[in-house]
């Protein structure tokens, strides 16, 4: 999940901004990353009262999940599929 600022120009190419409070700004990583480990996020919604971001993430075999996105969050793909362990070699899931 990337987070950029369309009203700033501090990115390497000067076409957008990278928020200074993104979790990987001061690390040797892609500065635009806000959260990772999502397989195929296909829809999202912001809670109008809290501002929380919820994302629907399509699973590989067994689980579709809805995740509350938090700063620096790791949502487990490709080790987990929802509440299942995922074996990327055999492409199968097993309850943990």
pLDDT tens for 17-29 read 999 999 999 999 9
3-class SS shares of the chain: helix, strand, coil, % to 5: 0, 35, 65
In DSSP notation, 3-20 reads: --BTT---STTSSSB--T
Question: Considering the entire predicted model, what is its pTM?
Answer: 0.83
Average pLDDT over residues 39-67: 93
3-state SS assignment for residue 43:
strand
Given a contact cutoff of 8 angstroms between Cβ atoms, the answer to whether 25 and 65 are in contact is: no
Identify the residue with better confidence: 68 or 85: 68
Whole-number percent of the chain with pLDDT over 90:
72
């Amino acid at each position: 999940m990337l987070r950029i600022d369309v009203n700033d120009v501090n990115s390497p190419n000067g076409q957008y901004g990278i928020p200074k409070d993104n979790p990987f700004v001061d690390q040797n990583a892609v500065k635009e990353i806000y959260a990772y480990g999502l397989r195929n996020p296909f829809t999202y919604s912001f809670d109008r009262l809290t501002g929380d971001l919820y994302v629907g993430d399509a699973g590989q075999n067994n689980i579709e999940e809805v995740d509350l996105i938090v700063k620096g969050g790791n949502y487990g793909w490709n080790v987990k599929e929802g509440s299942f362990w995922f074996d990327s070699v055999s492409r199968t899931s097993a309850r943990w």
